[in-house]
Amino acid sequence: MAKQMHDTPLLDQLESGPWPSFVTGIKRLAQDNDMMVDLLGQLETSYRTRKGYWKGGTVGVVGYGGGVIPRFTELKDENEKPLFPAAAEFHTLRIMPAPGFHYTSDLLRKFCDVWEKHGSGLICAHGQTGDFMLQGCSTAAVQPCFDEINEMGFDMGGAGPALRTGVSCVGMARCEHACFDSYTAQRQLINAFLDDMHRPALPYKWKFKFSGCANDCSNAMQRSDQAIIGTWRDDMKIDQDEVKNYVAAKGRDYIMDNVITRCPTQALALNDDDTLAVDNKSCVRCMHCINVMTKALSPGDDKGVTILVGGKRTLKIGDHFGTVIVPFMKVDTEEGMDALEELSGEMIDFFAENALEHERCGEMIERIGLVNFIEGIGVEVDPNQVSQPRTNPYVLMPDWDEQAAKWNERQA
Amino acid sequence: MSAPRMPDETGVPDWKPYMHPILEKNYGQWKYHERPRPGVLLHVAHNGDKVWSIKAGTCRQMDVHTIRTMAKIADDYADGYIRFTIRSAVEFMITDESKMDALINALNDAGFPVGGTGPSVRILSHTQGWMHCDIPGTDASGAVKSLMDDLFDDFMKEEMPNHVHITTSCCQINCGGQGDIAINIQHTRPPKINHDLVANACERPTVVARCPVAAIRPAVVNGKPTLEVDEKKCVACGACFPPCPPMQINDPEHTKFAVWVGGKHSSTRSKPSFHKLVAAGLPNNAPRWPEVSQVVRKILDTYKADARDYERVGEWAERIGWPAFFEKTELPFTKYHIDNWRGGRANLNASAHIRF
């Protein structure tokens, strides 16, 4: 039997309405868990005063320098005694799930049993970085809890200035658009650089995200330092009979309005016989027409990835999307995946050596210029890296002829 | 005393033991998909195999009892397998279509709304807020709960022009990310500094370096080394608060909400785009934030009535033009909508294109 519940008139208002209520869940836990009784007390205080009351600190497990998010209450009386003592320590353990967030019911139950024994019983599935997060652990319970989870075959995720947990879209497991094996890529790349996750020593965080196509269901473009996005370089595949079926079912007007005119590069035409013509040289692999007519259209056979670097949100210098570093790379063989791993290692090393403290890769590139970055990692210049060439003349070009010769040599 | 247990550095686990066998069998072999009804996806493989995925909403921060209920539903109807999406929806895969109605009923009975497919409003992506973050201006779980109550029908039906991703963030770091509609904390006053604590709690050069507008400088107050803020320069971003908690940026009155629209990660049709400021000054009115809901509802209703099929919110605004966006949504356009940050000139109208 837990301690008596605090009055929570504000949080109680979040129990009505049709959407699942986290407050109801926490109250269920509070019936036999003092930590959750006091968590409700602190949270209600925040709702009343409109202020947060957690501070960080240093809590970890043996062998690792990161992965636990320490939280200590700041709500204390005049004698420095916590007002809500059972929740005075409320740490999070970040656990790396399988790519694609797949679970068996048995696995989830095992997590629940371990977490009920050691912690609050509150689980966040999943954090924005992609971790399965166990929220609400006392300092003393962190190590035994992690030991049990580690013995189940699961490892700590990343936190702080470190390699972070990766995220993949559903990918080849259940999507016809997936142009590369994002699960293998996620597992191989993260595991190759695990030392940078468990012993944080980078200038700041490094996030990988993996999306099977330009629909970018893992939000890689802006939410990762290195975005790996599937694409293809041969012609898209067309089943003209299925095109005709779509036209018959929806009408020519619908196809014109929702497919043909929506192509960003005017690469599509609807023929008089209700078949589709595609100018594959103009197509930018944006996925729209394929999304609308999934039975008739699909990516080509010569698949690979585009690599973009530098995505991040506001702080410190403003928002960045990732920009293209490598327009196309084959990763459908072991050698291809190894080459991706090698290139990623070059980028992380360059970042580790050249970024300032608390500077994201995109900010470093903004500071030193893209050319210094790609020369540093051994990638050639490519017109796919820009949306347009330079528009100002403020540049010194002492070796133009040499640079032009390099390009001509590569084209030969 | 025995040596401490060292971790097995196993990293990212193999997914195969945890993935539904029909997905493993057809890994990379899917041919097309359909949406037979809201909340349900049907994927068909080249060999003719079919899998129906039933998608349902969760509150993300779940108690173990809720997760065990999910596990039980998976055992009863979906071969014991579960998948989560990045927006914290839960998916159950079935290979026998006849189990679908019973599964959907079980989910509804257990309080998991079925939806979030196709042109629907998806689950709001959210952050930690007052429940766990060390710097939050507001709560995330509560704001999401309130909004999803309002948007419940829009989640369960597929009646929007395209899918709508809404995000919330409890500070200007914006962990919620880009959204068709982003609901983010916006501070409106410089930090209040507790000069007695700065010297002990903060590494001062680090704090000075964090400021994007070089507004922070070392100072001495009451004989103690501290930091001061040039309030004419300060943009109240809160970047100094995480490395220096005595520089309190959160304020019950002056920490407000701003609403942004038109963020998009995908390269589908248009290139990815950042969300753009449309409304600000909304009060941090816990526990239900009705003023925020009202603005979001107005934007969504206008988008639903006015956008063409497949247009995302930002693509719609680009087509009709921002003057029409502000006119139709009845939101005020102010001097604060005009970007004056570095690179902001790219957001000015350098053309004679005016819609009348």
Domain boundaries of chain A, sorted by first residue: 9-151, 167-233+303-411, 237-298
pLDDT of residue B319: 97
| A328 at interface of B, judged by CB pairs closer than 8 A | no
* Shortest Cα–Cα distance, A117 to chain B (Å): 11
| A112 at interface of B, judged by CB pairs closer than 8 A | yes
Judge whether residue A1 has pLDDT over 80. Answer: no
Instruction: Looking at the structure, give the CATH architecture of the domain made up of residues A167-233+303-411.
Output: 2-Layer Sandwich (3.30)
Extract the tokens encoding B108. Answer: 């509804």
Please indicate whether, in this complex, the C-beta atoms of A101 and B85 are within 8 angstroms of each other.
yes
The CA-atom distances, in angstroms, between A94 and each of A224, A337, A358, B75, B132 are 18, 27, 21, 26, 13
Residue of B nearest to A387 (CA): B271
CA torsion B310-B312-B313-B314 (nearest 10°) is: -130
Task: Dump pLDDT digits (tens) for B68-97.
Answer: 999 999 999 999 999 999 999 999 999 999
Interface test with chain B among A75, A103, A164, by most B beta carbons within 10 Å: A103
pLDDT of residue B1: 63
Q: Report which of A391, A14, A194, A230 is spatially closest to residue B148, judged by C-alpha positions.
A: A14
pLDDT of residue A54: 96
Q: Residue ranges of the alpha helices (H) in A355-394?
A: 361-368, 370-377
Instruction: Answer for the pair B278, B325: CB distance below 8 angstroms, yes or no.
Output: yes
Could you tell me the pLDDT band of residue A315, with boundaries at 50, 70 and 90? confident
Residue of A nearest to B286 (CA): A47
| A9 at interface of B, judged by CB pairs closer than 8 A | no
Instruction: Answer for the pair A292, A258: CB distance below 8 angstroms, yes or no.
Output: yes
Measured distance CA(A59)–CA(A71) in Å, rounded: 9
pTM for this model (two decimals)? 0.97
Measured distance CA(A167)–CA(B209) in Å, rounded: 31
pLDDT of residue B321: 98
* Shortest Cα–Cα distance, B308 to chain A (Å): 9
How much is the average pLDDT of A165-183?
98
Query: Domain A9-151: which topology?
Result: Alpha-Beta Plaits (3.30.70)
Rg, chain B, Cα only: 24
**Letter for the amino acid at B211?**
C
Structural domains in chain B, sorted by start: 16-109 (3.30.70.3340), 129-188+252-330 (3.30.413.10), 192-235 (3.30.70.20)
Q: Other C-beta atoms within 10 Å of A4: how many? A: 6
Task: Dump pLDDT digits (tens) for A216-252.
Answer: 999 999 999 999 999 999 999 999 999 999 999 999 9
Extract the tokens encoding B119. Answer: 């042109």
pLDDT of residue B3: 84
Angle at A185 between CA A191 and CA A194, to 5 degrees: 15
Spell out where A203-349 has E strands: 208-211, 226-232, 237-238, 268-270, 276-278, 297-298, 303-309, 323-329
Counting one residue from chain A and one from chain B, the pairs whose CB atoms sit within 8 A come to 354
Could you tell me the pLDDT band of residue A316, with boundaries at 50, 70 and 90? confident
Task: Dump pLDDT digits (tens) for A76-116.
Answer: 999 999 999 999 999 999 999 999 999 999 999 999 999 99
Please indicate whether, in this complex, the C-beta atoms of A190 and B11 are within 8 angstroms of each other.
yes
Residues of B in contact with A92 (CB under 8 A): 132
* Shortest Cα–Cα distance, A130 to chain B (Å): 7
Indicate if A237-298 has the same CATH topology as A9-151.
yes
Extract the tokens encoding B95. Answer: 């290979």
To the nearest whole percent, how much of chain A has pLDDT over 70?
100
Residue of B nearest to A55 (CA): B134
Extract the tokens encoding B225. Answer: 């080394």
Spell out where A171-224 has E strands: 208-211
How much is the average pLDDT of A369-374?
98
Task: Dump pLDDT digits (tens) for A278-298.
Answer: 999 999 999 999 999 999 999
Instruction: Answer for the pair A297, A290: CB distance below 8 angstroms, yes or no.
Output: yes
Interface test with chain B among A207, A253, A314, by most B beta carbons within 10 Å: A314
Q: Considering Cα of A93, then A98, then A101, then A107, what sign does the dihedral take?
A: negative
- Specify the 3-state DSSP secondary structure of A224: coil
Mean pLDDT by 10 residues, chain B (356 residues): 89 98 98 98 98 97 98 98 97 98 98 98 93 94 96 98 96 89 96 96 95 96 96 96 95 96 97 97 97 98 98 98 98 97 93 96
Show Cβ contacts of residue A406 under 8 Å, excluding neighbours closer than 6 positions: none
Query: Domain A237-298: which topology?
Result: Alpha-Beta Plaits (3.30.70)
* Shortest Cα–Cα distance, B263 to chain A (Å): 10
How much is the average pLDDT of A323-337?
98
Measured distance CA(A220)–CA(B6) in Å, rounded: 33
